[in-house]
């Protein structure tokens, strides 16, 4: 399939987004897979040795049942606990050291984290993959006084997504983001440029919007992206 990279987890297909997210997990972690859906991330974390135990949560009974079936089929039922519930609310502080939330909108990811501060603060790592509004996620990470340790990119269905690794300040180390050397970077920047141009064109219809600071900042970012992509 064009735009997809797949890996095998048992007899299931794991796309490059899940694989890239799993690569951020430290070996031997106790991980939470929030919004587990089919349970593919949980399976990948255990098969790869990235996690020794996973709590997989989903607030809908249908996906939770599918996840349980896939986990049993993979022979991993002794290492995964599937819980039905909303976000992190079904996890107790200290049960996991790594929280993974993927495949949701940026606003929803922030809401899930904001609603369970004790669980978040008891963890060491947040690995977050928003389907949209990644800037809201990065802003929220700063808001709770965590640091973005790394960012990588993954492409699924022709769309490039950012994946964030956030850590507490005391565990933070300065390094170059994987994103900056990713072969997907040009595609990602072109994707962002097209989005910003669409937003600029809509804002241009309003004289009030055109005179605002947000519009000027938008135009500036568009020019910077064009110069970068053109080798300037």
Residue range 180-212, pLDDT digits in tens: 999 999 999 999 999 999 999 999 999 998 888
Classify residue 207 by burial, with Cβ atoms within 10 Å: 0-12, 13-18, 19+.
exposed
pLDDT band (50, 70, 90) for residue 4: very low
CA atoms of 122 and 35, how far apart (whole Å)? 19
Give the pLDDT of residue 231.
Answer: 83
pLDDT band (50, 70, 90) for residue 3: very low
Which helix (DSSP H) or strand (DSSP E) does residue 140 occupy?
helix 134-143
As a whole-number percent, the residues of the chain with pLDDT over 90 amount to: 83
Under 8 Å CB-to-CB from 232, ≥6 apart: which residues? 226
pLDDT tens for each residue of 205-224:
999 988 889 899 999 999 99
124-150 as b/e: b if 16+ CB within 10 A: ebbbbbbbeebebbbebbeeeebbbbb
**Residue 7 pLDDT more than 60?**
no
**Residue 10 pLDDT more than 90?**
no
Give the pLDDT of residue 9.
Answer: 42
Give the pLDDT of residue 63.
Answer: 86
Residues 138-155: what's their mean pLDDT?
97
Under 8 Å CB-to-CB from 10, ≥6 apart: which residues? 43, 47, 70, 73, 74, 75
DSSP class of residue 9 equals E
Lowest mean pLDDT among 90-94, 130-134, 206-210: 206-210
Residue whose tokens read 């890996």: 7
Q: Rounded mean pLDDT of the chain?
A: 91
HSE-up (13 A, CA, CB side) for residue 162: 24
Give the pLDDT of residue 13.
Answer: 56
CA atoms of 132 and 159, how far apart (whole Å)? 11
Residues 98-110: what's their mean pLDDT?
97
Nearest Cα residue to 7 out of 54, 38, 47, 36: 47
- Using only the alpha carbons of the chain, give its radius of gyration: 19
Question: What CA–CA distances, in Å, run from 81 to 62, 76, 113, 159?
Answer: 16, 10, 20, 31
**Residue 175 pLDDT more than 70?**
yes
* Token pair recorded at residue 230: 């053109």
Give the pLDDT of residue 232.
Answer: 64
Give the pLDDT of residue 133.
Answer: 94
pLDDT tens for each residue of 23-58:
999 999 999 999 998 899 999 999 999 999 999 999
DSSP class of residue 26 equals P
Bridge partner list, 153? 162
pLDDT band (50, 70, 90) for residue 8: very low
DSSP class of residue 168 equals -
């Amino acid at each position: 399939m064009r735009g997809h990279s797949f890996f095998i987890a048992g007899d299931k297909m794991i796309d490059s987004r899940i694989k890239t997210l799993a690569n951020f997990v430290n070996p031997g972690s106790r991980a939470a897979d929030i919004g587990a859906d089919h349970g593919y991330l949980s399976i990948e974390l255990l098969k790869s040795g990235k996690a020794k135990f996973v709590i997989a949560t989903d607030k809908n009974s249908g996906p939770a049942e599918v996840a349980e079936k896939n986990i049993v089929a993979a022979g991993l039922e002794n290492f995964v606990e599937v819980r039905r519930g909303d976000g992190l609310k079904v996890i107790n502080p200290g049960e996991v050291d790594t929280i993974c939330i993927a495949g949701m909108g940026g606003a929803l990811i922030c809401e899930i984290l904001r609603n369970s501060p004790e669980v978040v603060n008891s963890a060491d790592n947040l690995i977050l993959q928003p389907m949209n509004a990644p800037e809201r996620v990065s802003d929220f990470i700063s808001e709770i006084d965590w640091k973005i340790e790394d960012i990588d990119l993954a492409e699924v269905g022709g769309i490039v997504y950012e994946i964030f690794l956030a850590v507490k300040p005391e565990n933070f180390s300065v390094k170059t983001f994987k994103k900056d050397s990713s072969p997907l970077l040009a595609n990602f920047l072109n994707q962002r440029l097209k989005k910003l141009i669409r937003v600029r064109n809509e804002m241009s219809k309003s004289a009030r919007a055109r005179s605002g600071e947000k519009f000027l900042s938008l135009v500036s970012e568009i020019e910077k992206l064009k110069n970068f992509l053109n080798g300037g």
